[in-house]
Amino acid sequence: MGSTPEQHSVLEDVQGLVAGSLLASLGVVLLSSAKLLSGGTAGVAFLLHYLIGFGFGPIFFAINLPFYYFAFRRMGPAFTIKTFIAVLLTSVGSAVLPRYIGFSMLDPLVAGVLGGLLIGSGMLALFRHRASLGGFGILALYLQDRFGWRAGVVQLCFDGVVLICSFFVATPATIAASIAGAVVLNLVLAINHRKDRYIAV
């Protein structure tokens, strides 16, 4: 199907999913390199990654599996398939990119802000192509579509709960930098993602 003002073409969807997933992957690499945390299912994956030492990518992919049923029932098969692809690409990207990117010096606060900006921009690209990074992002999009609640605000509430749990495994400085990243991430979504402003699907 060709591109129209109301409908993305297949090629546009492909580039949107790839670009959004790569941006999110790079943001994850920044946060992980600085030993920071995040919110949502990514935050849960970070917590488990630091606690058990298993790779972030496989954990992130596995945590999102239960959410696909809800996505299929509430958001439809196209959204579910795109989200599955985005989560898979992000999981693979976050595992592969560290082989080619390294940081000799990385300030935690800078890593948090830039990581949040990259992940938020990646999620914004995915949202605009009717996909997400799974988990709480699915709920945030559903609540925005169903009740008109801003996805970024909803995501911030979920992120807050996960970050509260991080007090048990991280230092105050690490948590402060992580919170800065979460705020930046969700501000990107809250300011830029509005259903009534961007209508293409």
Of 38-47, 134-143, 189-198, the range with the highest mean pLDDT is 38-47
Is residue 84 a part of any domain in this protein? yes
% of the chain exceeding 90 in pLDDT: 35
Task: Supply the pLDDT for residue 132.
Answer: 86
Is residue 8 a part of any domain in this protein? no
Residue 98 in tokens:
């560290």
Query: How many domains does one find in the chain?
Result: 1
Is residue 163 a part of any domain in this protein? yes
C-alpha 157/C-alpha 4 separation (Å) is: 35
Task: Supply the pLDDT for residue 177.
Answer: 92
Q: Angle at the Cα of 152 (from 148 to 153), degrees rounded to 5?
A: 75
Is residue 10 a part of any domain in this protein? no
Is residue 5 a part of any domain in this protein? no
Is residue 36 a part of any domain in this protein? yes
With 0-12 / 13-18 / 19 or more C-beta atoms within 10 angstroms meaning exposed / middle / buried, residue 6 is exposed
Strand partners, 7: 4
Predicted structure pTM score: 0.84
Is residue 11 a part of any domain in this protein? no
Q: Is the dihedral of CA 1, 14, 77, 159 positive or negative?
A: negative
Better pLDDT: 163 or 143: 143
Integer CA distances (angstroms), 28 to 15, 49, 56, 189, in order: 20, 12, 9, 17
With 0-12 / 13-18 / 19 or more C-beta atoms within 10 angstroms meaning exposed / middle / buried, residue 1 is exposed
Q: Confidence class of residue 3 from pLDDT cuts 50, 70 and 90?
A: low
Residue pair 118/26 in contact by the 8 Å Cβ criterion: yes
pLDDT of residue 26 exceeding 90: yes
Of 117-121, 151-155, 189-193, the range with the highest mean pLDDT is 117-121
Residue pair 63/93 in contact by the 8 Å Cβ criterion: no
Q: Confidence class of residue 199 from pLDDT cuts 50, 70 and 90?
A: low
Full residue range of the structural domain in which residue 172 is found: 19-97+105-192
Task: Supply the pLDDT for residue 28.
Answer: 93
Is residue 134 a part of any domain in this protein? yes
